[in-house]
Structure 1
Amino acid sequence: MLRAAIIGLGDVSPVHKYAIDASDNGELVAVCDVNEALKTKYPDVPFYTDVETMLEKEDLDVVHICLPHYLHYPITKLCVEKGVHVFQEKPLALDYEEGLKTLALAEESSKKIGVCFQNRYNETFLELKRLLADESVGAVKAVKGLVAWHRPETYYTTKPWRGQMEFAGGGSIINQAIHTLDLMQVLGGEIDRCKASLSNLTDYDIEVEDTAVANFTFKNGARGFYMSTNAYVENSSVELQVITEKAKFTIKDNCLYRSNSSGEKELHLQDTPMQGTKFYYGPSHSALIQRFYNAIETDTDDYVTVRDALPAMLMIDAMKLSSKEKRTIEMEEIINVES
């Protein structure tokens, strides 16, 4: 059994604990958080307030990093250098530049670094990829991603780092809707350029955006439209749509639909719901974590790697720069600067 630890006992840590407990080959043996008040959150598991102390005292195989964004790279680096595999919650890093540093870390080490883009393993998304691989539907012409969620002001005041650019790296685009950006580039392919506008529809005292819209142009000529906001009244279902030369597919409410010749949506497949977690996180944390654990044991790359996760960071940097400079950004501009 792989000996696992969770670093950071915030909102998403129960999802990781559930997945570890449900895995075939993982066992939660330690947790760590600077807040001693969280010691009772998992009373049967040894609790630490210092990562280095935990790494010294526990014989760990893998750690799950569920920390604020600005801590992802330094804690990942510390763990990998101590000889421990790392499974990171999203995002990969604060920005594309830091993502490249994480990539270098992964390539220089024998230890694996996985990234939690679990929605890639939703049954509906896997089926959509299979359908798109069928030449009869034609090439992808457009991809649309919509995320309308709600975050109250207390979301930011209780954990101020979430509203500070230095520590969060962004708002809705990196904290809530990064999964949708990731799926869009998986479906559409390599991105050529981006035009975006980031703004705030709420009156919260935060530096990061709560709303974003963007147009992406893929290198294959396909177009992408993206919108995300935290200014809605509830966490509405994410919508992901793909238009090909001969078909239209939509994922919404954890269902995959195919539009018929009359334009009516016909249900094709529904995700199996995962109990005990927030529905809008997606149902596939367990699937991805199991895959990562298997990859550790068999020494394969059959999981979401750092290189797989980099395009989403590139998209986010391009959106921020486009909004700031009010112009279309060529992806090569960012790639060339950082390389």
Structure 2
Amino acid sequence: MKRAALVGCGDVAVIHFEAFDAIDGVELVGVCDTDPNALRWACDLTGAPGYGSVAELLEIAQPDVVHVATPHDQHVNVSLEAVAAGVHVLQEKPLAHTVEDGQRLVDWHAAALARMGPATPKVGICFQNRYNVSSQQLRRLLDSGELGAVRGAYASVVWTRTPDYYQVKPWRGTRARSGGGLLINQAIHTLDLVQWFLGEVVDIVGHVATNKFGDLIDVEDTAEMLLTHASGVQTSFYATLTAPQHRPVELELDCQNAYVTLRNGLTVAWHDGRAPQVFEERKVPSGGRTYWGVSHELLIRDFYDRLDDPEPFWISPAEAMKSLRILKQTYERSGL
């Protein structure tokens, strides 16, 4: 039985609690938050004991794995405190609110691997959309070569937000705490998929803007970019939180042998006249928001399954740094 604990009892915590209930061999032994109301909610929901500090949680609950779901500016400090105690860490995205802070965790992980090898505590970052049916099938098709050369790509994240979203939790709209807005909070999952599918991003042209919520926040609610990958392929990327309703996330690849559309599943329209292939996305009930997708449990289950593997978890701090650098470079090009 693996002993799990969670630090940060905000909105996304419910997804982790659902996974603990669903996965055999995992016991929730503690929750932690500095907000008494959030801590009380988590304790009432799960029946787990609550702690007001990470140090107290680690000392008394003695977890094997700590799940980190705090605001962005607290991610790295909590993760480093846990791994220093020899505890595995599964951390929500983003890696950090700044590149410099994220590099602290990347450097610790690299040094620990060099010193401790397979005994290094596992560190994973929650980019759960890599576990979607559509993502797994597209990765398989790209690896197989069936699609032929990729000639170009398009991606969009067109969602909506209300003033309440920022007023209830002001850190979301503050660059000093969140590290940014739309790109680091919402579109980062799609940026991660784009670079995972198409490779390293070596050049970025684009900018961000605050078109709707400028009187509330000092971060962006809209962004557009042209990303150039190491292969020379370019991705046109657009994201906004100003739409009246959520639209499905879209990712399209113009390939030599097919046109591929990721939108609530995956559709492969072959150029040779074959009938289109359609891969439907999984659907499961959850207390979380629908746009979070349904793959958190798969990622969490996989993380626990790999705890005894000698290799690091595949979505590592260094891997998570890639999407953080893309969005931070976009901010720099916008003068932020």
What is the DSSP-based 3-state SS (H/G/I as helix, E as strand, rest coil) of the residue aligned with 1:184? helix
From 49, 52, 56, the equivalent of 2:55 is 52
Is contact 1:195–1:323 with CA below 8 Å preserved after alignment?
Answer: no
- Look up the match of 1:29: 29
The sequence identity of aligned pairs, in percent, is 35
From 147, 159, 164, the equivalent of 2:157 is 147
Which segment drifts farther, 64-73 or 30-39?
Answer: 30-39
Taking a change above 3 Å as real, the CA distance of residues 303 and 274 of structure 1, as seen in their structure-2 partners, is: farther
Taking a change above 3 Å as real, the CA distance of residues 322 and 55 of structure 1, as seen in their structure-2 partners, is: same
Amino acid at match of 2:295: S
Task: Give how far 1:262 is off.
Answer: 9.7
- Look up the match of 2:331: 320
Which segment drifts farther, 255-264 or 76-85?
Answer: 255-264
Pairing 1:85–2:96 present: no
Task: Give how far 1:24 is off.
Answer: 2.9
Q: Which runs of 4+ in 1 moved over 6 A?
A: 262-265
Task: Give how far 1:29 is off.
Answer: 1.1
- Look up the match of 2:42: 41
Taking a change above 3 Å as real, the CA distance of residues 97 and 245 of structure 1, as seen in their structure-2 partners, is: farther
Is contact 1:197–1:323 with CA below 8 Å preserved after alignment?
Answer: yes
Taking a change above 3 Å as real, the CA distance of residues 264 and 202 of structure 1, as seen in their structure-2 partners, is: farther
Give me the TM-score of the superposition, normalised by structure 1: 0.91
1:143-292 pair list within 5 angstroms: 143-203=153-213, 204-253=215-264, 255-261=265-271, 266=276, 268-276=278-286, 277-292=288-303
Per-residue Cα deviation, 1:33-71 (whole angstroms, up to 9, x for no partner): 112123143321101122111111111101111110000
Give, in whole Å, the separation in 1 of the partners of 2:42 and 2:61: 19
Pairing 1:95–2:95 present: no
Per-residue Cα deviation, 1:227-251 (whole angstroms, up to 9, x for no partner): 1111112222111111112211111
Taking a change above 3 Å as real, the CA distance of residues 90 and 273 of structure 1, as seen in their structure-2 partners, is: same
- Look up the match of 1:8: 8
What is the DSSP-based 3-state SS (H/G/I as helix, E as strand, rest coil) of the residue aligned with 1:114? strand
Is contact 2:156–2:238 with CA below 8 Å preserved after alignment?
Answer: yes
- Look up the match of 2:322: 311
Give, in whole Å, the separation in 1 of the partners of 2:318 and 2:289: 28
Pairing 1:76–2:79 present: yes
Taking a change above 3 Å as real, the CA distance of residues 282 and 22 of structure 1, as seen in their structure-2 partners, is: same
Amino acid at match of 1:217: T
Amino acid at match of 1:278: R
Taking a change above 3 Å as real, the CA distance of residues 148 and 263 of structure 1, as seen in their structure-2 partners, is: farther
Give, in whole Å, the separation in 2 of the partners of 1:102 and 1:175: 19
Give, in whole Å, the separation in 1 of the partners of 2:202 and 2:138: 23
Task: Give how far 1:264 is off.
Answer: 11
Give, in whole Å, the separation in 1 of the partners of 2:43 and 2:93: 23
Which segment drifts farther, 200-209 or 309-318?
Answer: 200-209
Note the residue ranges of structure 1 that are not aligned, 5 or more in a row. Answer: 326-339
Give, in whole Å, the separation in 1 of the partners of 2:221 and 2:51: 34
Give me the TM-score of the superposition, normalised by structure 2: 0.92
Amino acid at match of 1:142: G
- Look up the match of 1:336: none
CA RMSD after TM alignment: 1.8
Taking a change above 3 Å as real, the CA distance of residues 262 and 202 of structure 1, as seen in their structure-2 partners, is: farther
Task: Give how far 1:96 is off.
Answer: 2.3
- Look up the match of 1:293: 304
Note the residue ranges of structure 2 that are not aligned, 5 or more in a row. Answer: 113-119
Taking a change above 3 Å as real, the CA distance of residues 302 and 68 of structure 1, as seen in their structure-2 partners, is: closer
Task: Give how far 1:265 is off.
Answer: 9.3
Is contact 1:257–1:265 with CA below 8 Å preserved after alignment?
Answer: no
